[in-house]
Structure 1
Amino acid sequence: MGALDEESVDRSESFGERLLGRLLDRARLMPPQLVAPLVAEEVATIGGRDVSILLQDYAQELLVPLPGRNLRVPQPEPVDGSAAGRAFLRAEVIEVAQADGVRMYLPLLDGSDEVGVMVLTLDTVADDHRRLLRRLAGLVADMLVTKGAYTDQFFLARRREPMSVSAEIQWGLLPPLTMSVRQVEVAGILEPAYRAAGDSFDYALNDNILHIAVIDAMGHDLDAAAMATIAIGAYRHARRVFISLAEKYAFMDDAISRQFGPDHFVTAQLMHLNLATGAMELVNAGHPAPLLIRDGRVVAQLESATTLPVGFGGEIPKVREHLLEPGDRVLCYTDGIIEERLCDGQPFGEERLMRCVDRLGVEPMEGARAYLRRLSHVLRSERGGHTSDDATLFMVQWRGGGPDRLAALD
């Protein structure tokens, strides 16, 4: 029976496998600048033309084209109000009928993090095209991320204005800006994108626990960036060695105080979210309290016991637990949001922030990333477009639901 089964298995190469396999085989030893032209060449084998590869800029305002042979290099497209932007924000394929065919906008997803958009034109589009191109876009995203790890060219394409040294350090420190699995989604925004210094965030999904840290190092420029780097490095080390939030806090506190002395500190929020139950443990070390958003409205500030900022040698903190409901969003933010001075000299304040969240509401099928961008734009407009200090937003949405089917096989 085993021999018959072996003989009955079809191992012939399909058209789609040949296309994707050829791209993989050729890209392996290809320099980064030739990846996008190679994609355009392969797309041409299925009748695609006018191929563009658009990457998100650091301010999350534009989708900017990669240059290269065989590529169409248009002007940057705005994330808001364009077909490319809709594909990017919704993580779905957008098709636009044109006189000479159909213009397709395919999100480039590295896992669940959106890298950019692949754009091409076909004479006609059938389901076979859609299926193959979705898979091709996923492969292209993985290739861009892999090749981008050892070139500056993708970075330079995404950078739309000069970037400070401290901002360079911070962007190199950040994890992907978004992550989404069945039970939870996270998204973060760092402002001002090209002058950030002391703000940062980090997260990791280890088994059933989502680990989260949001920090704000005192000061500006390189001194703040250096503290943030030490704080996040210490947090990651503790996360990979210890278990409790209290131990993470103590480890970070010791690292900052030893390296910078008693006159420097970092405020921090440390969280554990149990994806199975929605239980969220919280240590708040000098940060504004996170907001609990339910059905588009702020229903509570998630308070915790008073804990000194990291670096002051505080006592072991008490951990506060909050229980989330499916669909709840938790918004963390740094004081650069609420301490920004308005035209009349008054601080922006927490009450105004909560009113902005309530006014924003919720749109059907809108993910955390798109929501956070909308909120960021509303807050920036309310502040008169000013961001004089680092201003970070980080959101986690717990969807609830059971674990992935494969988890039961462990």
Structure 2
Amino acid sequence: MDATQTDILPPPTTRVATNCVLVVDDSAAQRQLLSAVLTRFGLEVIAAATAEDALEICAGEAGARIGIVVSDWQMPGMDGPDFCRAFRALRGESFAYFILLTSQTDRTSKTEGLKAGADDFVMRPVDMSELRARIDTGRRILDMHEVLLHRNYEVQTALGDLQALQAAINRDLAEARSLQQAFLPPRRYRAGGCDIALRLVTCDQIGGDLVGYFRVSQDEIAIYSVDVSGHGIASALLTGRLAELFSDRVPYRNVAFATDGSGAHSPEQVMTRLNEFMLQELSSDIYFTAVLAYVNLHTGALRFCQAGHPHPMIRRAHGAVERIGSGGPPVGLLPGAHFEVCTATLQPNDVFLAYSDGLTECVDTWGDMFEEEGLMELFARVPSDLEGAIGCIEEGLSNHAGIQRFDDDMSMILLKFEPMAP
């Protein structure tokens, strides 16, 4: 359940009466003397002859006004320490300062009084100036207790507000996560004879990775993998914008296609356009890395642009893994950045992999990264079906991380090539 104001402490009650003293003494002369002296000190005095009478007073309306108790130790029936225990039990969390009047000087007796809940002692015969000093001390402690109650209430109120705000943020982030997942195309897709599968795992509720595909023409399909710098809301917002720029749901908005309908730009031209878009239209320090690859569905011809992104990999049908690509600058970082196109050829049953650096930079409890070599070894032994391959890669990364949670988003997209029938 979300934290609300009803979960915190109630507001403090009215100010504790620090000038109301309860005097308990079985000696009428002592009660009258103490009452007279304390009244001259400017205090309100309530007197009781026995501890039992005092408890009745405390349980009534006058009990809430009592802030200080001055009680004799030796009394018939319930003595001072027993009365103190009963008084503490009756008051609960409502604090009052309790002073015992005693002629006992041994440490054992004082220890008994402290265990019963007494705060202070005054020796008999009572020195009235000492008694006043003890009462003044009690009033200061009551004042500090009052301040602490209010400070605690303020802290609890602020904590409740923060918890409610955090709950609202978490709800918004959960909605944002659902929306971000909606940016992705379906996790499985078949183009001609080729199977495509993708996966996105964010380290937080929302992330800055994006993977997907779109049809370039009847003969080609595009595969892309994007990793936006940083984490959090700003990165997630940019992935949403990039998802629209790579979407095939609204082709005329897709950055890969010429606005005059003349066809698709090459991968390196697309990166150049995105670089200009980032630097000219977005006033931000955010940039991203990416791989954009076009695959010919008939011949397996692969042309791609690598812009600061990890090297794509090809798992050949016989199991060997090749790292391809020549690097390149990130997108949105350097004006006039030059992007190059690279080529390769896919044979039947070859699998193409594009991924974010969350895979290779996954760390274990020792701080050692999985590295590109680890991914290549893992990719070499994945099963032939793409869902099984993705599951195998995820399991391998999870085993490497151990109890260390993933500290970066992880995304991957795989294409298994089979020539499309004429």
Under a length normalisation based on structure 1, what TM-score does the superposition of the two structures give?
0.54
Note if contact 2:184-2:212 (Cα within 8 Å) is conserved in structure 1. yes
1:283 aligns with 2:305: yes
Matching residue's letter, 2:212: D
Mapping for residues 305-344 of structure 1, pairs under 5 Å = 306-344=328-366
| CA distance in 1 between partners of 2:269 and 2:331 (Å) | 14
1:369 counterpart (379, 384, 387): 387
Distance 2:287 2:320 in 1: 30
- Partner secondary structure for residue 238 of structure 1: coil
For the Cα contact (< 8 Å) 1:166–1:221, is it kept in 2?
no
Q: Verify the 8 A CA contact 1:167 1:193 in the aligned structure 2.
A: no
SS of the equivalent of 2:298 reads: coil
* Alpha-carbon separation, structure 1, partners of 2:246 and 2:340: 18
1:272 aligns with 2:298: no
Deviation at 1:200, TM superposition (A): 0.5
Residue 220 (structure 1) aligned to one of 223, 231, 238: 231
**Residue type of the partner of 1:367?**
D
Query: For residues 167 and 296 of structure 1, what CA distance do their matches in structure 2 show?
Result: 39
Q: How big is the shift at 1:355?
A: 1.8
Task: Work out the CA distance in 2 between the residues paired with 1:203 and 1:162.
Answer: 28
Alignment of 1:349 with 2:361, yes or no, is no
Q: Which amino acid aligns with 1:214?
A: S
Which runs of structure 2 are paired with 1:118-157 in the superposition (5 Å)? none
Aligned length: 239
1:232 to 227, 243, 263: 243
Deviation string 1:39-63 (CA, Å, 9 cap, x unpaired) is xxxxxxxxxxxxxxxxxxxxxxxxx
Q: Does 1:197 align with 2:203?
A: no
Instruction: State how far apart, in whole Å, the 1-side matches of 2:240 and 2:232 are.
Output: 12
Asked whether the equivalents of residues 382 and 393 of structure 2 are also in contact (C-alpha less than 8 Å), the reply is: no
Deviation at residue 387 of structure 1 after TM alignment = 1.5
**SS state at 1:297 partner:** coil
Distance 1:342 1:219 in 2: 21
**Which of 209, 222, 242 is matched with 1:211 structurally?**
222
> How far apart, CA to CA, are the structure 2 residues paired with 1:194 and 1:176?
22
Counterpart amino acid of residue 337 in structure 1: L
Counterpart CA distance in 2 for 1:179 and 1:219 is 30
Which amino acid is 1:240 matched to? F
Q: Distance in 1 between matches of 2:382 and 2:395?
A: 14
Change (3 A) 1:314 1:300: farther
Is this contact kept in 2: 1:230–1:256, CA < 8 A?
no
Partner Cα distance (1:240, 1:194) in 2: 33
Equivalent position of 2:282 in the other structure: 260
Q: Which residue of 1 aligns with 2:185?
A: 175
Deviation at 1:165, TM superposition (A): 4.9
- After TM superposition, the structure 1 = structure 2 runs for residues 381-396 of structure 1, keeping only pairs within 5 Å, are 381-384=399-402, 386-396=405-415
Structure 2 CA distance, aligned partners of 1:377 and 1:320?
31
Q: Report how far residue 348 of structure 1 moved.
A: 1.8
Gaps of 5+ in 1: 1-160, 404-410
Q: C-alpha displacement at 1:299, in angstroms?
A: 2.5
Contact 1:356–1:379, Cα closer than 8 Å, also in 2: no
Per-residue deviation at 1:401?
4.6
Task: Please report how far the alpha carbon of residue 229 of structure 1 lies from its aligned counterpart in structure 2 after TM superposition.
Answer: 1.8
Superposition map of 1:71-110 within 5 A: none
Residue number in structure 1 paired with 2:397: 379
Displacement of 1:344 after TM fit? 0.9
Aligned AA (1:374): C
Asked if the contact 1:231/1:252 (under 8 Å) is kept, the reply is no
Query: Equivalents in 2 of 1:163, 1:193: separation in Å?
Result: 13
Q: Describe the superposition over 1:267-286 as per-residue Cα deviations: whole angstroms up to 9, x where unpaired.
A: 01011101111110010001
Give the match's secondary structure for 2:291.
Answer: strand
Q: Does the aligned pair in 1 maintain the 2:176–2:206 contact within 8 Å?
A: yes
Per the alignment, in what secondary structure is the counterpart of residue 332 of structure 1? strand
Rounded to whole Å, the distance in 1 between the matches of 2:332 and 2:312 is 18
Alpha carbons 1:274, 1:280 under 8 Å: kept: yes
TM-score (normalised: structure 2) = 0.52
The one-letter code sitting in structure 1 at the alignment partner of 2:417 is W
Query: For residues 387 and 305 of structure 1, do their structure 2 counterparts lie closer, same or farther at Cα, with a shift above 3 Å needed?
Result: closer
SS of 1:239 mapped into structure 2: coil
Contact kept in structure 2, 1:295 and 1:361, CA below 8 Å: no
How high is the sequence identity, in percent, across the aligned residues? 22
Pick which of 304-313 and 366-375 moved more. Answer: 304-313
How far off is 1:389 after superposition? 0.9
Match of 1:301 among 296, 308, 323: 323
